Chain A
Amino acid sequence: MTNEADSSALHKIDLMIMGAGPAGARAALRAKASGLRVVLVDENNDAGGQVWRPLPDGFSRLSGVASSAEARDGDALRLELRKAGVVCLFGHKVWNIGSDLRTDVISPEGSVSWLPSALLVATGTTERVIPFTGWTAPGVMGLAAATILLKSQNMLPGRSTLVAGNGPLLLAVANGILKAGGQVAAVIDLASRTDWMLTLPALKARPDLLWQGLRWQANLRLAGVPVLYRHGIDSVVSTPQGFDAHVKPVDSSGAPLSGAARVFSVDCVTVGHGLVPGTDVTRLLRARHRYAAESGGWIAESDEMGRTSVKGLYVAGDGAGVAGAAAAGAHGELAALACANDLGRISTEHYSRERTALLSQRRKPALFGRAMAGLMALREGAVAAIKPETIVCRCEDVTRAEIDAAVHEGARDLNQLKAWTRCGMGPCQGRTCSDVAGALLAIHVGSREDVGCFTGRAPLRPVSLAEVAGQYTYADIPIPKAAPL
């Protein structure tokens, strides 16, 4: 890549794919096979995304130790990408995209611009945490963060861990901890047993995953881990040994019910309340969005092929609406197929034949994934119950009370709230707080549509001035002509 990475040139390609998880990687393979000049970019050091996390640089798997199915699937995908000769920019972050889809990438050589005819966004999701007292304390982390520690770093998140929130990640993380030799103090699930039972018809679509879920539940019983359905964390209080986590029963909306709290003394709390599609890129490019609670929140409007309202811009995978990793691969391939078709690179017959095949391939896993997404959907009662002094925006330490005060003074939409309180102005630019802040505002204003979402802006990831400015002298600065005197 070195000789291609001349920072002065604009690299013209057919398709840029952002995100090398299941959707992006499969899309890259499909695009390559369709004859497209494709580049796959990811800020991680290899493909796999969150579900098939690559090992960190310098790590290797021990020989003679059985690897997990996920590790095997991930390794197979990485090998497939290499064999196919897909151009991959790993360890690169995309920091800006123009309306002509010009993609600015920070590479070891500085900022390099690519000019693709089409852009596929497969950047997955961000984990939602509904704030509670103590959620920002060190040692309280997301289920996704615990997953990274377990899958990628082979580390336990704590010696004794409370696993809380809602959705299938609860089971996955609790089992991961047990398998790695850790202790799970309890699993605290906002959902009821009935909520899980109602997903059964959809789970039948994927007997393998259903079987895995049942096995996970059996493991928990075997290890004597209590599972508290319809419960949520009320507060986490630091103690000399770690934390006292206070857990209370909740109603179907996630709102706490009266009654005494159960207290678990642990040294780690891992908690997640579902996944929110990452819409940073589609908002930056002003694609049309809609609020879809069952898909995780705001998503770019798209057809079944991933075409958005912006010409040349495609979305696939959970970032287009949560439907699970198993469905993401086919979704990515569908989007790549649409690109190849829209760029006139494949025949109509090929397009419709492959389209039918892929749509049918995606149907069952998507059914399963959407059932899981339903379990992970935002529980509004839990949001309404956030206490006044609890921090909502952790970058800027904005509390629920400050948000309510701004509403009382007249703030009516999310961007206005941001200007009035700094909620969402920090380094994460609202990735962490926007869903909950939007839900809080909607309690007073009406719908999530009325509240809107944060305006998307560059940079997509923080970049240093040095990274963008590169090497230069004063004469290299193209200072425009003077303003009127």
Chain B
Amino acid sequence: MTASAKALESGKDYDTLVIGGGVMGCSTALHLARAGMQVALVDRGALCREASGVNAGTLTLHMTRASLVPYAMRAWQMWMDAENWLGMDVLAKQAPGLTLAFTQDECELLTLRANARREQGAPIEIISPERARQIEPGLHPGLLMAGYCEIDGYASAYLTGRAMTHALRNAGVDIFENSAVESIDSGDCGHIANFDGKQAPLRGRRIVLAGGVWIENMLAMLGVQIPIKVLINQLIITERIRPVMRSVLSVANGLLSLKQFANGTVLIGGGWQGDGNRDQGGIESRPQNLVGNMRLAAYAVPALAEARVARVWLGLEAETADAMPIIGDVPGVANAYVVGSAHSGYTSGPFMGRIMAQHILCQPTDLPIFNPARLLGMPMPVA
């Protein structure tokens, strides 16, 4: 008898092991547990302390991939209702969303992108600079055009882990933090997750891989090769300042996200790239990209020039070869599932977890899932 098999003798037999405690893994685990399953949720660190806890918290349709708009709209409502289904809120707040164009080229891009998203159901309209300034008086006078969406807003992403922990504990999910899975043994009777160190192996009838950018490594443990690209997004938070804005701002090509929280701090993001990788995480910001991102923010809302930066950090975002999520069965492995790697994954995350759970429970999913098998052998486009 192997050591891990021995350790399992007295252990619990889970209906499902969820590997990866970000927003998608947490939501999947929560929905499965509420449907009556015995669920173990495992993370190598603390829950929602990677992308799910350090992203900009933007709950916008302006930056969502057009075909994901229906998903994002459902998830948006889940975030706004967090207190109801998590029992604890994440300071989610509705705010008007504006996309800004300062050049003719940007006007064209903005119109094109707004139309594509409107076709998918996003209530985005093109408005004049005058109307945009009625919504957000602090905008730069050089504004030429704006996209406006009523369904927009933001959450404080750093609170996600606390809210999820609260909900998961109440739902009876066993949480294993600081437990890095080293390998997975899969067979007819289920899966065994093996750990390095003190944590005894865990056994489950089913397994869900929900590791964000690390899904590539997790799939490899099951012998499946699907490349996942890693984006290293820079984020900037200011000290508390007087109220200077009330909307969520972006620019035509999506490379800005800007909002002021109730406590007065202003978060500047948008996906300007820093340095890092899958193994080491975010290593450092790129000075020229910091300067660029700050310039764009202070250009959009000139009053921001006075704000002092309190902290700059990096968060990892995953992207598949076709830049669409990966939600469904792991190809060729029975009772194994994968969920994640969505653009703007935080916005859509709770809903993605819900449809993953519905699929596992053999229920009809609210919206179609995204079959991982399509990505087998698909080359990653060169940036």
Shortest CB-to-CB span from A389 to chain B, Å, is 21
Contact check, B159 vs A465: say whether CB atoms are below 8 A apart. Answer: no
Shortest CB-to-CB span from B379 to chain A, Å, is 16
Could you list some 27 contacts between A and B, CB below 8 A?
Answer: A96-B312, A111-B291, A409-B166, A415-B49, A419-B49, A419-B162, A420-B159, A425-B310, A427-B308, A457-B312, A457-B313, A458-B311, A463-B308, A464-B307, A469-B291, A469-B298, A474-B142, A477-B292, A477-B295, A479-B253, A479-B255, A480-B255, A482-B254, A483-B253, A483-B271, A484-B65, A485-B65
Q: Any chain B CB within 8 A of the CB of A102?
A: yes
Q: Any chain A CB within 8 A of the CB of B97?
A: no
Q: Mark A452-482, 1 if CB is under 8 A from B, else 0.
A: 0001011100111110111010101111111
14 more A-B contacts (CB under 8 A) besides A419-B53, A463-B309, A474-B102?
A410-B169, A410-B175, A412-B177, A416-B46, A420-B158, A462-B308, A464-B309, A465-B309, A466-B298, A469-B295, A474-B103, A477-B296, A479-B255, A481-B253
Q: Any chain A CB within 8 A of the CB of B205?
A: no
Contact check, B305 vs A480: say whether CB atoms are below 8 A apart. Answer: no
Chain B interface residues (CB < 8 Å from chain A)? 46, 49, 53, 63, 65-66, 102-103, 109, 112-113, 116, 142, 158-159, 161-162, 165-166, 169, 175, 177-178, 238-239, 251-255, 271-273, 275, 283-285, 287-288, 290-292, 294-299, 304-313, 319, 323, 343
* Bound complex: CA A25 to CA B255 (Å): 44
Contact check, A479 vs B251: say whether CB atoms are below 8 A apart. Answer: yes
Chain A residues contacting B162 (CB-CB under 8 Å) are 406, 409, 411, 419-420
Q: Mark A366-392, 1 if CB is under 8 A from B, else 0.
A: 000000000000000000000000000
* Bound complex: CA A102 to CA B287 (Å): 10
Chain A residues contacting B308 (CB-CB under 8 Å) are 427, 462-465
Contact check, B299 vs A464: say whether CB atoms are below 8 A apart. Answer: no
Q: Any chain B CB within 8 A of the CB of A413?
A: yes
Q: Which of A416, A466, A484 contacts B49 (CB 8 A)?
A: A416
Contact check, B313 vs A113: say whether CB atoms are below 8 A apart. Answer: no
Chain A residues contacting B291 (CB-CB under 8 Å) are 111, 468-470
Question: Residue among B103, B238, B295 with the most chain A CB within 10 A?
Answer: B295
* Bound complex: CA A463 to CA B112 (Å): 37
Contact check, B284 vs A99: say whether CB atoms are below 8 A apart. Answer: yes
User: Known contacts being A113-B287, A415-B49, A462-B239, is A479 close to B292, with CB within 8 Å?
Assistant: yes
Chain A residues contacting B343 (CB-CB under 8 Å) are 483-484
Contact check, B292 vs A464: say whether CB atoms are below 8 A apart. Answer: no
Chain A residues contacting B306 (CB-CB under 8 Å) are 464-466
Contact check, B310 vs A410: say whether CB atoms are below 8 A apart. Answer: no
Contact check, B309 vs A468: say whether CB atoms are below 8 A apart. Answer: yes
* Bound complex: CA A412 to CA B175 (Å): 13
Q: Any chain B CB within 8 A of the CB of A426?
A: yes
Chain B residues contacting A482 (CB-CB under 8 Å) are 109, 113, 252-255
Q: Any chain B CB within 8 A of the CB of A189?
A: no
Q: Any chain B CB within 8 A of the CB of A429?
A: yes
User: Known contacts being A412-B177, A464-B309, A477-B292, is A458 close to B255, with CB within 8 Å?
Assistant: no
Chain A residues contacting B307 (CB-CB under 8 Å) are 464-465
Chain A residues contacting B112 (CB-CB under 8 Å) are 485
Chain A residues contacting B296 (CB-CB under 8 Å) are 477, 479
Contact check, B169 vs A483: say whether CB atoms are below 8 A apart. Answer: no
Q: Any chain B CB within 8 A of the CB of A98?
A: yes
Q: Using CB atoms, name the residue of chain B closest to A427.
A: B239
Chain B residues contacting A410 (CB-CB under 8 Å) are 165, 169, 175
Contact check, A476 vs B295: say whether CB atoms are below 8 A apart. Answer: yes
Shortest CB-to-CB span from A268 to chain B, Å, is 28
Q: Using CB atoms, name the residue of chain B closest to A421.
A: B162
Chain A residues contacting B290 (CB-CB under 8 Å) are 96, 468
Q: Any chain B CB within 8 A of the CB of A104?
A: yes
Shortest CB-to-CB span from B17 to chain A, Å, is 20
Chain B residues contacting A412 (CB-CB under 8 Å) are 46, 177-178
Shortest CB-to-CB span from A418 to chain B, Å, is 8
Contact check, B310 vs A427: say whether CB atoms are below 8 A apart. Answer: yes
Contact check, B299 vs A474: say whether CB atoms are below 8 A apart. Answer: yes
Chain B residues contacting A420 (CB-CB under 8 Å) are 158-159, 161-162
Contact check, A483 vs B254: say whether CB atoms are below 8 A apart. Answer: yes
Chain B residues contacting A481 (CB-CB under 8 Å) are 253
Chain A residues contacting B169 (CB-CB under 8 Å) are 410
* Bound complex: CA A470 to CA B290 (Å): 12
* Bound complex: CA A98 to CA B309 (Å): 17
* Bound complex: CA A476 to CA B102 (Å): 13
* Bound complex: CA A286 to CA B281 (Å): 12
Among all A-B residue pairs, the 10 with the closest Cβ atoms: A482-B253, A462-B308, A419-B158, A466-B305, A483-B254, A420-B162, A484-B323, A416-B46, A469-B295, A465-B298
Contact check, A465 vs B299: say whether CB atoms are below 8 A apart. Answer: no
Contact check, A485 vs B116: say whether CB atoms are below 8 A apart. Answer: yes
Q: Which of A113, A411, A462, A483 contacts B310 (CB 8 A)?
A: A462
Chain B residues contacting A429 (CB-CB under 8 Å) are 310-311
Contact check, A477 vs B299: say whether CB atoms are below 8 A apart. Answer: yes
* Bound complex: CA A425 to CA B264 (Å): 13
* Bound complex: CA A104 to CA B288 (Å): 12
Chain A residues contacting B311 (CB-CB under 8 Å) are 425, 429, 457-459
Chain A residues contacting B254 (CB-CB under 8 Å) are 482-483
Q: Using CB atoms, name the residue of chain A closest to B304.
A: A465
Chain A residues contacting B275 (CB-CB under 8 Å) are 99
